[in-house]
Amino acid sequence: MAEDKLHIRLHVYDTELSVNIPREEEEYYRSASKLINETVNTYSTLFKGKKTDKDILYMSMLDIALRYKKEGARNDTAPFSDILGKLTLEIEDALKK
């Protein structure tokens, strides 16, 4: 079955991007574009004339990447999975006795 693709244009900072995306992910792409624009605009307001456009873009990328990594760490379920695995083994051992 062929994936249902959608052709959209996104305005990202000072560039228009034309992308083909899975239809069900359109909201994510538009939201990501909005986040980039808001972040760059915030840094531009704070540092215009003090930093180059390239520096402002790098600061924006770092800001967004940092948010992403923090959210990923906050949602890390590995410790819980490890504990559940150990508890399951203990319960199984207890039931065998």
Using one digit for the tens of pLDDT, what is the confidence trace for 40-70? 999 999 999 999 999 999 999 999 999 999 9
What phi and psi values does residue 24 have, to the nearest 5 degrees? Answer: -75, -10
- Give the length of the chain: 97
The C-alpha atoms of residue 33 and residue 12 are separated, in whole angstroms, by 6
pLDDT of residue 1: 42
Number of domains in the chain: 1
List of residues 6+ apart from 30 with CB closer than 8 A: 8, 10
> Is residue 9 within 8 Å of 30, Cβ to Cβ?
no
pLDDT interval class at 73 (50, 70, 90): confident
Residue of 35, 6, 27 lying closest to 18 (CA atoms):
6
pLDDT of residue 2: 55
Pairing between strand 5-12 and 15-22?
antiparallel
Domain, as residue range, for 26? 5-96
